[in-house]
């Protein structure tokens, strides 16, 4: 019995996917392609189609502009109690974002997340993910955000570019 369990565990480990074994050290977002890539040591281990705000091109300047920030940020905490099915916060706004908004006389906005679908509407993701529908966040399907949160640790860097 002991040997059978050992062999079963060994075989399970041998046949696990690279994704399950990967340690994601960077999340890269290409807004122009609506793509998010999870990288481990420069190698793509997972790719997702994502949705943004209705006006995704360019860096977020102010609250309500429906843009996703561009640059390098940190995924700084997980959130399980929001209007969306699970989420991880992006460290926007940073000092430069706040200073830019101050110069423009506007609020920089905030609370930018990688998140799933609006609560109780996950079944619509085959349709919603065809459009840019957030207020500046990055949206995945609910099953994808579950996988994302299992693979990406708090403190991981995220780069977002057009």
Q: Provide the 8-state DSSP code for 119.
A: T
Set out the domains of the chain in order of their start, with CATH numbers: 24-161 (2.40.440.10)
* Per-residue pLDDT reduced to its tens digit, 2-59: 554 444 444 444 344 444 556 899 999 999 999 999 999 999 999 999 999 999 999 9
Sequence-ordered alpha helix ranges (H) in 43-104: 95-104
Query: pTM (2 decimals)?
Result: 0.84
Distance CA 108, CA 153 (A): 26
Are 96 and 135 in contact by the 8 Å Cβ rule? The answer is no
Rg (CA), the chain: 18
Helix (H) or strand (E) holding 78: strand 71-79
């Amino acid at each position: 019995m002991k040997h059978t369990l050992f062999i079963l565990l060994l075989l399970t480990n041998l046949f696990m996917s690279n994704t399950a074994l990967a340690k994601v050290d960077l999340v890269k977002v290409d807004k122009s392609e609506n793509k998010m890539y999870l990288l481990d040591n420069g190698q793509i281990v997972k790719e997702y189609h994502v949705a943004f705000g209705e006006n995704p091109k360019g860096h977020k300047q102010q609250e309500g502009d429906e843009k996703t920030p561009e640059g390098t940020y940190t995924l700084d905490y997980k959130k399980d109690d929001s209007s969306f099915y699970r989420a991880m916060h992006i460290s926007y706004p940073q000092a430069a974002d706040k200073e830019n908004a101050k110069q423009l006389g506007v609020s920089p906005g905030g609370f930018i997340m990688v998140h799933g679908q609006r609560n109780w509407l996950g079944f619509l993701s085959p349709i919603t993910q065809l459009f840019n529908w957030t207020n500046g966040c990055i949206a995945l399907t609910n099953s994808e955000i579950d996988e994302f949160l299992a693979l990406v640790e708090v403190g991981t860097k995220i780069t977002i570019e057009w």
